[in-house]
Amino acid sequence: MKFSVPTNWQPELIQALNVEYADEVYGKLRDDPIGGCRNSYSLPFVSRHDAREYIHQLHKKGIGFNYVINSTCLNNCEWTKSGQKQIRGFLSWLVDIGVDSVTVSIPYLSEMIKKNYSILKVIVSTMAGVDSLAKVKYWEGLGADEITLSSVRVNRNFPLLKRISREAKCKLRLIANECCLYQCPFRPYHAVIGSHGTQSRHYLKGFLIDYANLACNYKKLLSPFELIRSPWIRPEDLQHYEAIGIERIKLIDRAMSTTVLISIYNAYVNRSYEGNLLDLFLSADKTIIVEKPRLLQKAKYFFRPFTVNVLKLIKLRELIMQGVFYIENRALDNFILHFIDNDCSLALCEDCGYCYKIADRVIKINQDRRSSLIKKYEKYLDVLISGEMFRYP
């Protein structure tokens, strides 16, 4: 089993990787004509020149580079002469700097790339929502080389995974350390706002308020069992996926610091982690955004006095989900066995009760911190929904 590792463009990350386990690194510029499902302000800055050199260093070590252009919406610019010129020009540049593969969510882009830039392998993004054998076959028909299955719908559906793995002709990958909501209702919208948030031609130039992430965190604060039924894969459980034919695991996140990324990578390579399971997931306190001197660089995305009430917007910094929950990873040994033998898509969680029981047993909660954050999230979401965010007193 191989790993696809996110890059924050730091050379120390390359040094820590072993090609025996990680033969691919993925990432993108902070913005480009196509964009990807991550907001610009959370991504590290890298120049085009430095990106070319970084990819060269990866190749010297025998590691490929996967450029992420997994936008789910191109704002219809793809149907204009100028939009086509920008998109095709950028794809030509990716070929020129030595990119090996691209991750896409839009079928049209996949067809364009396979026809005009055949040197690039096409990886289907999890944002394409591939959650059935029919969808796998559709993307295979478009020439996809590899498919990232929908993490929020497929990761723990072993009957479906077995069938897809048996029938698929292309390679399959899963995202391991994503802590999204089960069957996440915010997923499509989150992908679209993230797409526009990294497109260089978009008039807001990277600005967005990540309502989907806020609503997701609020749901977890109210119902901690969501942390358990979230479709993550523990390092210790990779063997069960390998046994049914999953060949690659994708790790996240590109916004993380090098130290955190290396720690997560080592946990999955060693297939073991001692400590808080949540250490393996993205959280605001682990991101590059909190590292100086990058704070000033990020400020430009948020100082929009004629767009929003910046005095209210800045209170986002009070909503960091740190120090609320602790889940001892090894307390979840054998947790996965329930899903191997049961198809959760055929039952309601309330009727099953398995994740509720596990949550009561393994989640330790700082109730004071939780109560405080619930109040802050409720107030902030109300400011968004009421419209106060977009006016001054």
Give 87-140 pLDDT, tens digit per residue: 999 999 999 999 999 999 999 999 999 999 999 999 999 999 999 999 999 999
Q: Beta-strand (E) ranges in 130-210? A: 146-148, 171-175
Contact 323, 283 (CB under 8 A): no
Tokens 């095709």 locate to 88
- 120 half-sphere exposure, CB direction, 13 A CA radius: 30
What is residue 296's predicted lDDT score, i.e. its pLDDT? 62
What is residue 342's predicted lDDT score, i.e. its pLDDT? 87
Q: What is the mean pLDDT of residues 286-315?
A: 73
Give 174's strand partners.
249
* Percent of the chain clearing pLDDT 70 (strictly above): 96
Measured N-to-C along each axis, helices 133-141 and 158-167 cross at an angle, to the nearest 10 degrees, of 30
Lowest-pLDDT range, 57-61, 254-258, 291-295? 291-295
Count of Cβ atoms closer than 10 Å to residue 13 Cβ: 23
Task: Concatenate the DSSP letters of all residues of 247-287 into one string.
Answer: -EEE---TTB-HHHHHHHHHHHHHT---SBGGGGS--GGGB
Query: Measured between alpha carbons, how far is 311 from 290 in angstroms, rounded to an integer?
Result: 19
Which one, of 310, 295, 317, lies nearest residue 373 by Cα?
Answer: 317
Give 64's strand partners.
24
pLDDT of 62-88, one tens digit each?
999 999 999 999 999 999 999 999 999
Contact 69, 35 (CB under 8 A): yes
Which CATH number do you get for residue 299?
Answer: 3.20.20.70
C-alpha distance from residue 210 to each of 5, 306, 321 (Å)? 24, 18, 15
Query: Measured between alpha carbons, how far is 103 from 21 in angstroms, rounded to an integer?
Result: 20
Count of Cβ atoms closer than 10 Å to residue 148 Cβ: 24
Which one, of 279, 276, 285, lies nearest residue 263 by Cα?
Answer: 279
Which 3 state secondary structure label does DSSP give 18? coil
Is the confidence at residue 290, as pLDDT, over 50? no
Which one, of 152, 37, 26, 45, lies nearest residue 99 by Cα?
Answer: 26
Query: Measured between alpha carbons, how far is 224 from 307 in angstroms, rounded to an integer?
Result: 34
User: How much is the mean pLDDT over the chain?
Assistant: 93
Query: Measured between alpha carbons, how far is 295 from 313 in angstroms, rounded to an integer?
Result: 16
Lowest-pLDDT range, 153-162, 184-193, 301-310? 301-310
Which 3 state secondary structure label does DSSP give 85? helix
Is the confidence at residue 369, as pLDDT, over 70? yes
Is the confidence at residue 383, as pLDDT, over 90? yes
Strands 325-327 and 22-27 come out as unpaired
Which tokens sit at 249? 């695991």
- The number of folded domains in the chain is 1
Domain range for 323 is 2-390
- Compute, in degrees rounded to 10, the torsion defined by CA atoms 58, 60, 63, 66: 50
Query: Measured between alpha carbons, how far is 198 from 201 in angstroms, rounded to an integer?
Result: 9
pTM here? 0.94
Q: pLDDT confidence of 211, banded at 50, 70, 90? A: very high
Q: pLDDT confidence of 297, banded at 50, 70, 90? A: low
Contact 121, 145 (CB under 8 A): yes
Phi, then psi, of 94 in degrees rounded to 5: -60, -40
Is the confidence at residue 286, as pLDDT, over 60? no
C-alpha distance from residue 78 to each of 38, 69, 75, 236 (Å)? 20, 14, 8, 43
